[in-house]
Structure 1
Amino acid sequence: MGQQENILDYYSVECDSRKQFVAQGKSIILERSSYSYRLEPEIGNGWMDLFQISYGVTLGRACFYTPFHCQATDSPGMIALFVVVSGRLDIESSDGHILESYQEGSVGLGYRKNIRGITISYQPDKVKKKAEVVSIDIPVTFFSQLFPEGSCDFSALRLMPEESCLIRFDHICRHCALSVANSLMCLDCRQIKDFIRIESSVLNLVNMLASHFKQLTSLRGTRTNQRYYEKVRDVMAILEEQFHQKHTIASLARYVGLNECYLKVAFKELTGQTIAEFQRSIRLNQAKKLLETKSYNVTEIAHNIGYSNPGHFAAAFKREFGISPSGMKLIPK
């Protein structure tokens, strides 16, 4: 298979040829740009769907309640993004060597240069009883168009070994990818309003990745900018670990030893979010995890993640995920 701008049909043929899935009804909204599958009962329990959005970008979502292994072939000329929402994802070579391994909360980004046969292994989380993965394939030809000519250096990708990942657990873009992936798993692509949210969320994420590449280029050889980059990562770590505590820009700036104004500007430039937006998203994703355990009521969760007003929490949660906290509790495990 040569380089393709749209690999949706290729992936769907692979799914059909493996005889592991039963095709579901196609969405009238998406017509021929979507494929939905569920596992054959004798193989396991789970589902996946694939659909094309704008500019040749292909989105895949998978949710498996039992361990599942399948063969696949990487498409060359693609920037491939994996986000593990729950469970574990292993990518193995044809000889069984683990090329990439992703735990819950991990994000992987790689440049696929050659056709490569791989085995994908989904392992459900022991508590949540499921493995959820979001994948996004972005044509390099489209990705490069997000930059003015000559303004972005892709050598960092092109020099990478095939199995390497540019984004790992502590990468500055990880949080944005996780937030988008969590939202995507809650949306129904058969509903036009949800499909619009899906498309806009994915394209916004792609644009943020492009912004990250520009930052990588501008940071090379610049000690001052590199210092800001490290300070921003320190702030991100604080907000992730102490999500339930109240932090101010002043307190964070003092902790990392950076001027408040510089911190605000650097954080926004490097993450695409304000500090308040980042903290809110961290808290809401933690709330989503607590709701899935069915062990706490909405008021308890609001207080656990740092909201003093349950009503404000419920409104923020619905804006983030498109569903109310009480509605999320009704979803079966």
Structure 2
Amino acid sequence: MGLDVDRAHGAGRIDIQRFRDGLTVGVADYTMGAAREDSYLTKGPSFGVSIMLRGRFELAAPDLGLRDRVESGQVWLRGGDLGLVRARLAARERIQGLSIDVPSTMVEAWREAGPRAFNATVAGILTGSDPVCTRVPGSDGRLLTMAGALMGTDMGSPCGRLHTESLALDLLARLLAPDASPTGRCCRRKHAALDEAMDILRAEWIDPPTIARLARRIGLNECYLKAGFRDRFGTTIAGSVRHMRMIEARRLIEQEGQSVQQAALSVGFSNPSHFSAAFRRVHGCNPSHLVSGVGRRPRDA
């Protein structure tokens, strides 16, 4: 199911895919022309996760005593009926994020496994009975990378839906995994530096720094930066930048109506064949398919 944002109010799209076992994945990428505040009642699910990849908005849930700002890079867990929820969004704030709602049958199976099967944050939600909406402390760069990959899947094709479901389950497995043994202060510092490197690439992907400059900015040597980046995020620095560019390229073609050549130039590719090859590696289809409508996501509401 897909829903385009009314062009009178903004631009973008929200896609929702429900799988046979009840697992539901929602992907949002939109910008509203004017500031707005929405209020709505929320009921369920038993367990859900929301990941913010870009943008920010103010969130309030009076029944829970919650008032906070949801920002890029944050992971939120929720469960039960949250009651009235208010969200306030600034004008021209681009929002990119996803949500995964877990069916009650799967949650009950998790509960039967016992709290020791999961990390402390998740176990606290599964063993509790009250509604909850809480931000996961810290930052898991690999989790955000997986979320970014999920954002780029094509829910309009059978293979794309299988890919979406597989990534969603992998993401849940990482999110629920038991707490690792405590790491040393040095290791934590290096992880923080690698997370900073990813933040820099997200902000400067159109003209990213060289590996040498990036290493100097975060205070790590080049060898550890390259090896540590792959270990923490599951991809190389170049692969991460390429993925960000291809996500933006797809948005420009699907939502802004740009041609393949325009999109390629917008994300830093002057060679059309190189752009098409990079696009295929990320999205599994040629960019020309989106322009012709073959690879577009379904637009049924």
Shift of 1:296: 5.2
Question: Does the aligned pair in 1 maintain the 2:31–2:93 contact within 8 Å?
Answer: no
Q: TM-score, normalised by structure 2?
A: 0.67
Corresponding residue for residue 201 of structure 2: 239
The answer to whether 1:288 aligns with 2:255 is no
Identity of aligned residues (%): 23
Question: Does the aligned pair in 1 maintain the 2:44–2:82 contact within 8 Å?
Answer: yes
Corresponding residue for residue 168 of structure 2: 202
Question: Does the aligned pair in 1 maintain the 2:74–2:136 contact within 8 Å?
Answer: no
Shift of 1:135: 1.7
Corresponding residue for residue 29 of structure 1: none
Question: Does the aligned pair in 2 maintain the 1:90–1:122 contact within 8 Å?
Answer: yes
The answer to whether 1:272 aligns with 2:239 is no
The answer to whether 1:187 aligns with 2:149 is no
How does 1:304-319 map onto structure 2 within 5 Å? 304-319=266-281
SS in 2 for 1:230: helix
Question: Does the aligned pair in 1 maintain the 2:14–2:26 contact within 8 Å?
Answer: no
Distance (Å, rounded) in 1 between the aligned partners of 2:67 and 2:93: 26
How does 1:1-333 map onto structure 2 within 5 Å? 49-52=16-19, 57-60=23-26, 69-76=39-46, 78=47, 80-83=48-51, 92-93=60-61, 99=67, 102=70, 107-112=74-79, 115-119=81-85, 126=92, 134-138=98-102, 153-155=119-121, 158=124, 162-166=132-136, 172=141, 173-181=143-151, 183-184=152-153, 186-188=154-156, 191-210=157-176, 214=179, 217-218=180-181, 220=182, 222-245=184-207, 247-292=209-254, 294=256, 297-329=259-291
Counterparts in 2 of 1:174 and 1:120: CA distance versus 1, 3 Å: farther
Shift of 1:223: 0.8
Shift of 1:200: 1.8
Shift of 1:198: 1.8
Counterparts in 2 of 1:307 and 1:60: CA distance versus 1, 3 Å: closer
Return the structure number with greater relative CO, CA threshold 8 A, min gap 6: 2
| Consecutive unaligned residues in structure 1, runs of 5 or more | 1-35
Distance (Å, rounded) in 2 between the aligned partners of 1:260 and 1:109: 33
Corresponding residue for residue 6 of structure 1: none
Question: Does the aligned pair in 2 maintain the 1:59–1:136 contact within 8 Å?
Answer: yes
SS in 2 for 1:137: strand
Shift of 1:187: 2.0
Distance (Å, rounded) in 1 between the aligned partners of 2:30 and 2:202: 27
Bigger drift between 228-237 and 116-125 goes to: 116-125
Shift of 1:94: 5.4
Distance (Å, rounded) in 1 between the aligned partners of 2:257 and 2:39: 31
Q: How many residues align?
A: 277
Distance (Å, rounded) in 1 between the aligned partners of 2:147 and 2:43: 23
Bigger drift between 152-161 and 306-315 goes to: 152-161
SS in 2 for 1:82: strand
SS in 2 for 1:164: strand
Shift of 1:111: 4.8
Distance (Å, rounded) in 1 between the aligned partners of 2:29 and 2:196: 33
Give me the CA root mean square deviation.
4.7
* Counterpart AA for 2:19: Q
* Counterpart AA for 2:76: L
